[in-house]
Amino acid sequence: MKAAAAQASVPAPALLHQALASQAAAEFVMASGYDGTIIDLQHGEVGLEDACRMLRAIPRDRNAYAYARVGSIDAATILRLLDSGARGIVAPTVETAAQASALVTAVKYPPLGGRSLGPSRPALYDGEPYTDAGNHAVSAIIQIETRAGVENAEAIFATPGLDSVYLGPADLAVSHGLPGRGDWADGPVRDALVELSYLARGAGLTFGSYCASPAYAKALIEDGLVDYVGLGIDLVFLNRMAQDAITALRSES
């Protein structure tokens, strides 16, 4: 997500994490009103071939936030995802400027990075020259989710070609010895969120965070702390709906 895309008058985009390998689900996410998706190759059952098919299932006129989170910063995997239409790559557990630089190298065409030109979806990027258009259209997004990442944030955020920072609150909580949950109103995770939001904006980057509940996500947006949110996980939604349905069926009331 580009810093220039975050405007106060525009509602903050909401993205659904997808852990289920389903092209239909990718289509339904967009039809439901979500602004985009984060296809998760780090957790869940989505493999590279699945992710490429899911990206192609997202309508071309709605794919501005068609993101993929990789398991590691592997240039070959990232290239396949980008050529299938990913508009952003989220790299998890970034703790050093060198890792952020490796992500930019994999995501961006020269001179910013080292992405290779090759056959991809027709007219993937509009504009001339093509490589400049591609670099503008695709976001390099680092995920901060450890104490080390927070401590090194200023150096990481200074990486040329980086576009956005995404907070992983559950893993950050675990790194502090706390329960691995997403929504924190106080404590070290909340403190880190506020600090990272300030530092990211100061570096010309956008800032987002995963949120478990709509109320928490709305509060972060209204407080001006985030430019976008990851709101929920498809597998968790399915589990909750199934639990609600069977509980209602078997209730005695």
176 annotated active-site = no
Instruction: Between 114 and 11, name the one with better pLDDT.
Output: 114
3-state SS, one letter per residue, for 93-150: CCCCHHHHHHHHHHHCCCCCCCCCCCCCCCCCCCCCCHHHHHHHHCEEEEEECCHHHH
Mean residue pLDDT of the chain comes to: 93
Instruction: Count structural domains, the chain.
Output: 1
Give the pLDDT score at 123.
76
Instruction: Between 120 and 124, name the one with better pLDDT.
Output: 124
Give the pLDDT score at 199.
98
Residue 12 near residue 221, CB atoms below 8 Å: yes
Give the pLDDT score at 126.
87
> Cα(107)–Cα(78) distance, rounded to whole angstroms?
7
Q: Which residue has the tokens 């220039």?
A: 4
Give the pLDDT score at 2.
61
Grouping H, G, I as helix, E, B as strand and the rest as coil, residue 130 is helix
Q: Is the predicted pLDDT of residue 27 greater than 60, yes or no?
A: yes
Q: Which domain holds residue 218?
A: 3-250
Q: Among the options 17, 43, 136, 176, which is catalytic? A: 43
Q: What is the pLDDT of residues 204-230, one digit of tens each?
A: 999 999 999 999 999 999 999 999 999
* Distances from the Cα of 14 to the Cα of 10, 204, 208, 226, angstroms: 12, 21, 10, 11
How many H-runs (helices) and E-runs (strands) does the chain carry? Answer: 11, 8
In this prediction, residue 10 has a pLDDT band, given cuts at 50, 70 and 90, of: low
Q: What is the pLDDT of residues 158-206, one digit of tens each?
A: 999 999 999 999 999 999 999 999 999 999 999 999 999 999 999 999 9
In this prediction, residue 128 has a pLDDT band, given cuts at 50, 70 and 90, of: confident
Q: Considering only the C-alpha atoms of the chain, give the largest distance between any 2 of them, rounded to a whole number of Å.
A: 66
CATH number assigned to the domain comprising residue 98 = 3.20.20.60
